[in-house]
Structure 1
Amino acid sequence: MYNFILIFFFLFLGLVLQRVKCFPTNTYKLLNKIVIFVCLPALALYYIPKIHWNNQLLYPIGVAWIGFLFSYLFFKFMGNRFGWSRKLTGCLIITAGFGNTSFLGFPIIQALYGDEGLKMAILVDQPGTFVVLSTFGILVATLYSSGSPSGIFIAKKILFFPPFIAFLIACVMNFSGFDFHQLFQLLLQKVGSVMTPLAMLSVGLQLQFDRKSKHLKFLGLGLLFKLLLTPALFYFLYVVLLGQNSKMIHVAIMEAAMAPMITASILASSYGLKPRLSSMMIGFGIPLSFITLAFWYLIVTYL
């Protein structure tokens, strides 16, 4: 409940500060940099060394990898079919391709499935969502914002992306069985914990809703894809096709049904991929997701 209150409070605060004339209009850019360059690396270094691996973990981890591939193929096809701009296509690939598997996912999964469910949710988020965002997310953002950059340019963007560097370090720590001293772990946890308020404040500062906006139909399509089509895909793959019906599968499907990822919206915005649409995907996707999540919970629990 605390996380929910935090999300809506800072989203509303950002909306209010938009109307304060003396408040700097570009503050959200600074907040975006803090989230990406400080908070995300801290979370990677805190969580990833604690993960214990086995083959069954491929189900929750696959949510982000398959989900992003699905988004890429779907919106690339739609963009080519209807002649969308590259920035619009890139925006929808990224914002609809990543779920809010930590900010919303962690508290919701813990409330529904307890601490055991939370451990599974971390697998969806860290080796799944986090890794895909740090690699293919950066790749798509670069390609769709810069035209046709060279392979060296793209490699530099990925390799020197601070969260990706932190991820590589955390993986080495995991494989070697090393973790930081408890005091430093506490520091990492505290630094990572400010990500939610800063990210939601950034979204609130950028969020605008115009009934005549040209983005409305794209907003509707993006949210339809993320909140309904994506979890439907995983229900078909995991439950119908593979016959899996464990708590881990339930958690995976629920995580696939989460609202668009805040950090993905910030990434798209920072690369100039339709910043207003990016913020609308978050600002309206999060409230709407509470309704669709209830629907998917009934599906995975009783069907």
Structure 2
Amino acid sequence: MLDPVLPIALYLLLGYLFKIFFKDNSKELVEFVIYFSLPAMVFVKIYPLTLDLKILNLICMFNTIIIVNLILAYLIGKFFALEKKTLATFMIIATFGNTSFIGFSYIDAFYGQDYVVYALIYDLFGSFLLVVSLGAFIINWGSGNVVHFKSILKSVLIFPPIIIFFITVVLKFFDMPTFIMNTAQTIGATLVPLAMIAIGMKLEIKNIFYKVRITSLALTLKMLIMPIFVMILFGIFYNLDETWSKATILEVAMPPMTTAVILAIKGGLDERLAINALVIGVIFSLASVTGFYYFLA
């Protein structure tokens, strides 16, 4: 029953043990994933894909889900009278999910690589674009800093997977040699194990009970309430038997985004709260995401 998720748990454990007994190489692994594994995955999945109105509709839908999540997080945070810095941190961890590293891992494990493309579109044109735009505004608002539009635009334009996406759109007009496709597939296959091992190295258990009430509230909204809400809507307007619907619901159920947590820390928000949510979210996802998968099945 747990066969698909056990490799993910093992990767996390290997990363954590490597950090304990040797050292934390997560920075180097994450950089390799961002500059090589993820762009290779983008190329392999986007090159054969027909970019049509359906893809545009998916992008609009994914962005709508994240924005609704953000509004709910703000309203809940205000209801509980969270002070500004804590509220901004709460909104970040309760809204932006790890739809790339962890998301790709779960979709690959449960539905196969053919459906990673939905997670890819959700991540690139939903999670990533919104976290470096809306997320940056929230982080700067919470920490009292000024928002610089130039830096936001630069973050989008120099992100390697985004660059490769547009290059791939152009390359679609040309036939690619077999050795290039095979090489890209091989490099792209390193994404899941390397990303999960890197996240395992980032896990910190010492702050597990820091502001646990706020953390639990954020994770309940992010990993339970939102996917259930989306699942109900999909059951009304779409077909829950279709794999793309299931993959989308699992993406919505992902734990807090590593990139969002890093940006929150760099921006001066509540570091321990952000890291605590990331750690507990990753561990909890082994049960919650698996639960959603079997329920949908």
Relative to the length of structure 2, the TM-score reads: 0.79
Moved more, 61-70 or 90-99: 90-99
1:55 CA drift (Å): 4.3
Is the 1:46–1:185 contact (alpha carbons within 8 Å) kept by the matching residues of 2? yes
1:75 CA drift (Å): 1.8
Aligned residue runs from structure 1 range 35-184, under 5 A: 35-56=33-54, 61=59, 64-81=62-79, 82-83=82-83, 84-95=86-97, 100-110=102-112, 119=114, 121-146=115-140, 147-174=145-172, 177-184=173-180
Please tell me the root mean square deviation across aligned C-alpha atoms, in Å: 3.2
The answer for the alignment partner of 1:256 in structure 2 is 249
Q: 2 CA distance for matches of 1:211 and 1:159?
A: 35
Letter in 1 for 2:160: P
Identity of aligned pairs, percent?
17
The answer for the alignment partner of 1:266 in structure 2 is 258
Relative to the length of structure 1, the TM-score reads: 0.77
The answer for the alignment partner of 2:281 in structure 1 is 281
1:78 CA drift (Å): 3.0
Q: Deviations over 1:224-252 (max 9, x none)?
A: 33443233333333332x3x33743x531
1:295 CA drift (Å): 2.3
Q: 1 CA distance for matches of 2:99 and 2:40?
A: 23
Is the 1:96–1:260 contact (alpha carbons within 8 Å) kept by the matching residues of 2? no
Structure 1, unpaired ranges of 5+: 111-117, 298-303
Q: 1 CA distance for matches of 2:100 and 2:64?
A: 10
1:11 CA drift (Å): 0.6
Structure 1 residues 91 and 234: alpha-carbon distance in aligned structure 2, compared to 1, 3 A threshold: closer
Is the 1:95–1:278 contact (alpha carbons within 8 Å) kept by the matching residues of 2? no
Moved more, 215-224 or 130-139: 215-224
Structure 2, unpaired ranges of 5+: 266-273
The answer for the alignment partner of 2:269 in structure 1 is none
Q: Deviations over 1:115-156 (max 9, x none)?
A: xxx64x344223332222332222244334443322112111
Is the 2:73–2:94 contact (alpha carbons within 8 Å) kept by the matching residues of 1? yes
Q: 1 CA distance for matches of 2:72 and 2:234?
A: 20
- Count residues in correspondence: 280
- 1:7 is the counterpart of 2:3: no
Q: 2 CA distance for matches of 1:279 and 1:140?
A: 23
For residue 257 of structure 2, give the secondary structure of its aligned residue in structure 1.
Answer: helix
Q: 2 CA distance for matches of 1:144 and 1:98?
A: 21
Structure 1 residues 259 and 58: alpha-carbon distance in aligned structure 2, compared to 1, 3 A threshold: closer
